[in-house]
A and B are shown apart, each in its own frame.
Chain A
Amino acid sequence: MEDLRELYQEVILDHNNDPRNFRKIDFATHDAKGYNPLCGDEVHLYLVVKEGRIEDICFQGHGCAISKAAASLMTDALKSKTVEEAESLFHRFQEMVTQKPGMEINFEGLGKLAVFAGVREFPVRVKCATLVWHALEASLKKKDRATSE
């Protein structure tokens, strides 16, 4: 159970039980759906971006604990960030969850998102953690659909 706890950290379980920003925005400037065909997880991400800054961000959908917590924590982290900052965070996050076990991770700037570091021990679950981030990228590029494939 010990290394499972690395994956299912308290913060993740908490955000799975009680996801933050779990709602819809009727007048979103950007939105995109993320879909993981492997497990059927689906997330719909909504953003209000004004002058290059994310004023509001939230999501709806269904999925496993990892994907739900990832969406909850990502939306928390990105509120009031600029689009450039969000994109840079995406790359840092992706680097963290795909880093080979044993290699050092630079957690700088990741804040609470660091709880997903354990995902790298479970390669089949990386897509669960990154699904909502792919949806973010798609929405910012004005594509309406992203898959984690």
Chain B
Amino acid sequence: MDIKKNSPNSTGLDVESIRRDFPTLHQEINGKPLVYFDHAATSQKPSAVIQAVENYYRTINANIHRGVHHLSQAATDAFEASREKVRHFINADSTKEIVFCSGTTGAINLVAASFGQKYIREGDEILISHLEHHSNIVPWQLLCDRIGARLRVIPVNDNGELMLEEYEKLLNHRTKLVSVIHISNSLGTINPIKQMVEAAHRHGARVLVDGAQATSHTAIDVLDLDCDFYAFSGHKMCAPTGVGVLYGKQELLSTLPPYQGGGDMILSVSFEKTIYNELPHRFEAGTPNISGVIGLGAAIDYLDSLGFENIEPYEQGLLRYATDAMSTIKSVKIIGKAARKSSTISFISDKAHPHDIGTILDHEGIAIRTGHHCTQPLMSRFGIPGTSRISLSFYNTTEDIDRFMIGIDKVFKMFF
């Protein structure tokens, strides 16, 4: 195996040193050292992020954008510096295209409300995929119910990949928006977003990408993808919970009506006429999650210091190692065998139910996710109520996977 925990490996990551950056990893659960395999639910946080949040509260805590005093200016500078970091992180043209919100769900709901109001009419079609998280299904159902639009679904094949020929057939002049997940949270499938955006644009449809599972695994380049919107959450990429980003092309964002009304999103208010603020502030009503945004900036600095050119091959190595190990167990069936996958593996077993597997592994100090992963339509597609899922990241090691395999062995000893 080319991945070693105790030395900088061939991919250029010093994983032992990285693990020291994450305080939560160094504890015992049920008397066993923690193995954290639930990165896809939420990532662990490095000390640099925790410190950035603490520093804000300890040294520059103030509201932003409206104070003349020193602390307010310092907080505003730190907040806006994060916006520039996000812009650079996803290679957007301008910070005007970076809207801070509560997370991916918040971002999708913003688009559903504002883009929906402006561009979607009765009889129009919104296209999503069978891989979607509930957060990229329900906002569109609500919108469709409200205006009489039609929600259509790109099917997946038995490997958990989108059926692109079917996708092409579904696109037509009524398609106003394609909203699709970049990397499946349940199966790890990496979708060919660039190709899908190209196809959608040929039909005049806009594209929103749910990037919640992508931003900690691979470099994002919104200019190259040419997507119209890109939504992601801080907490899946080492930043705090409660903060996320909606990227939107400036030419499009500038045409959209405001989402929520309140302070910060206006230039002037009178009872007769309110003038809305410029981008991106028009979409940021109320005092935002200032510490979260600053923490997100620190998380981006941290990920940049590791480099996706190192993270990606390392995680792909972990994925291969775990897939190979699990493939040796006859009673385990991996759900999702896409040719392009991130380091997430869903599996079922005819011997043990996911919930029981989760409890027994927890007993071994191994944290995995069980259930439908907020993708019930996808589970139905495979005829299962749920799976057990391990989601790995750059702070995991092959030794973690070995521990997991021993845990799995204990599961099957219980349910022989």
Where the two chains meet, the residues of A that have a C-beta atom closer than 8 Å to any C-beta of B are 1, 3-4, 7-8, 13, 16, 38-42, 62-66, 122, 124-125, 128
Contacts and interface: CB of A to CB of B under 8 A. Distances in A.
Interface string B346-365: 00000011111001100100
Given A40-B372, A40-B379, A41-B385, A4 B414 contact: yes
B372 A64 contact: no
B370 A39 contact: yes
Given A4-B360, A4-B363, A62-B385, A39 B355 contact: yes
A137 B372 CA distance: 26
A124 B376 CA distance: 21
B176 to A, nearest CB: 32
Nearest to A61: B385
Nearest to A65: B356
A73 B283 CA distance: 56
A40 B370 CA distance: 10
A3 B355 CA distance: 17
B5 interface: no
A37 B294 CA distance: 35
24 contacts: A1-B363, A3-B363, A7-B359, A8-B414, A13-B415, A16-B415, A38-B371, A39-B371, A39-B372, A39-B386, A40-B372, A40-B376, A40-B386, A42-B385, A62-B385, A63-B355, A64-B355, A64-B356, A65-B415, A66-B355, A66-B356, A122-B359, A125-B359, A128-B355
B410 interface: yes
B353 A64 contact: yes
A128 B355 CA distance: 9
A41 B410 CA distance: 23
Contacts of A125: 355, 359
Nearest 9 Cβ contacts at the A-B interface? A40-B385, A64-B355, A64-B353, A40-B386, A39-B371, A39-B355, A65-B356, A64-B356, A40-B372
A85 to B, nearest CB: 30
Interface in B324-372: 352-356, 359-360, 363, 370-372
